[in-house]
Structure 1
Amino acid sequence: MYRVTGDDWDSWKDVRPHFDVARSFAAANKIGAPGLRGRSWPDLDMLPFGWLTDAGANQGPHRTTSLTFDEQTTQMGLWSMAKSPLMYGGDLRHLDDRTFNLITHPTLLKINHHSRNNMEFGYIHSERASKPDEQSGRSKSGYPVDVTNNGGMVLGLSTCSDKSAVGWHRSSEDRICRSHGIQNGNASFCISKAKLLPTSDGVTMSSGEDQAKFHLTGIDTDDGCLDASVSPWRTSSASQTPMFSACEQHTKQVWELTENGQLVSSYSGLCATMRSNKEGENETTGARAWTAIGDKGEIYVAIFNLDTARRKITV
């Protein structure tokens, strides 16, 4: 079990980015994959339902969750379909019946514990059936703000089969760039190569790997090194992975440029991508669908509306 997202508190803008993260780890076959001492279980963080306190507060709990029940149901559904570890983040001493029934739903728990081939299903069409926030059960939370942004382009992580992962190139001995189209022509997002620090997390590399792999830093900035993990105590809406953090002796900051033009993380095996803000915004709204196969061969399909409006969805 390992965390793969920032903290998700009881805000829909924190929960929504988890759909992209869960999709990437499912596509990379990381859900339930065999490992050295067990299996791989990507952790999407806690379920912030019921009676809560505020993030970072040392007092409480003192309030109910800010998520609507539709949003809680959506979150519980994704966590179950993605087989994320289920950890209740509210006060068990003040557990209401509706919340109890949701987190102990027998079908959702069965999918979470006894299903396979869990993945996002891409053949889905949807269109708005109402105006935003009209009978949608959604809050009016704004879209998440991306911390690594250049000319409307956002730096992120995805599976290396993603078409947006291709296009990185070495523009000079110490600089790696990714070109992208903008309204008035082309622009490049560049980052600097830095000498690879010896890793202190128990991972050893051969001399050949030392020459092929490197750290990446911002150009003329003090942002630190490009990091393929998530810093603690940041919500999912406040940080996008990868991001820059203080340079460390850890494989989470080790990268390799392949001959195919992919910038690969040695820590996660995922690739750095560049997308437009509008494209990323569209991908985290609309509708999503997941499928899974039960232990007796039954097929589960979960359909999610991530929009602030009601949608007509067909699969």
Structure 2
Amino acid sequence: MRIQLLSSLFLFSFSSYPYRVSSQPEHASFPPRGWNSYDSFDWILSEVDFLQSAEKISQRLQPYGYEYAVVDYLWYRKNVPGAYPDSLGFDVIDEWGRLIPDPDRWPSSEDGKGFTEVAQKVQSVGLKLGIHVMRGLSRQAYDANTPILDTTTGRAYEESGRLWRAKDIGITERACGWMPHGFMSVNTKLGAGRAFLRSLYEQYAEWGVDFVKHDCVFGNDLDVDEITFVSEVLQKLSRPILYSVSPGVIPTPVMEKDITALVNMYRVTGDDWDTWGDVAAHFDVSRWNKVSMDFAAANKIGAKGLLGRSWPDLDMLPVGWLTDPGSGRGPHRMSNLNLDEQKTQMTLWAMARSPIMFGGDVRRLDETTSSLITNPFILEINSFSTNNMEACETMSLRGLWNIN
């Protein structure tokens, strides 16, 4: 049997180091690796499900460099009838208009603790906590016209003899393209706008967050001003936080030049799901000798970035036990990709040196999927290979998986 790479074959070289987790202080020295809840739980993840998953990641995947456990979107939304991704009025916010975990799903967050206890538990098993956040300001906070916290004084933000509120900083005409009722950009030219963003990311650091996935700020919803200011805030924090950005829809090649040095990860594709069409489309994104996405030739793979290095991201791996995109339900089925397709995808992600974020329900990690995502040679390519480039198109690949 052969693995057929239908679009292209890539060449690479690497130094043969034994696989290891980086202990260097530099951020993202190698492509980050971890687990993200979205492919298996959509947005309905609970604290119990997440902590069970973190325990399994620690036991099964952490020895292979999987160090981040990431809570994907809408952890602040009440899971009640009428709530869905673009619904309005179901989010939990504090007095300053900042989103906080839904206490019904995240009971340890009560009394203003946020993700503090979750972070402590995740870190106690050797992992790092990540959370998904959206652009700017929530529409709910805007409609409530909440005051803005000045973290330097601990009081409401005041400038030019007046107190500033959410409606002073929200830019309604710059709503998130795929969640227009949810979020909008803030005016970073205003001191109040900058104070609001600063209050968000300082709070995440206080909670003990290690990784932030910042969504709807890249691609069609590109907001270089917000990315730039958030990057500046993160660089000033005493707690290092890995910074990942994600597109509203799909980014274009010219966009990455504005943000590479500001972030550690940046999605270069739309959402990837378990269809061969989605996998095949990633070959065109990754074929770096083409003018359209010339990452390798421009030295963008592992380029110097925020407090460390920066990596183009091909999205999560939808393998193992999953849910359906946009279903609003928990995991209930196996990946639709056959085993050869899964191996092809894992090989491409490794050769492209993309961050590897497993998306399946780790509590039901079967041996086949486990072998796929922990293959030592494939992971070594992902961490240590260099000079990766397309060699030719439409060629069979043998040997990497020891398949006859």
In the superposition, the TM-score normalised over structure 2's length comes to 0.31
Query: Per residue, is there more strand in 1 or in 2?
Result: 1
Query: Per residue, is there more helix in 1 or in 2?
Result: 2
In the superposition, the TM-score normalised over structure 1's length comes to 0.39
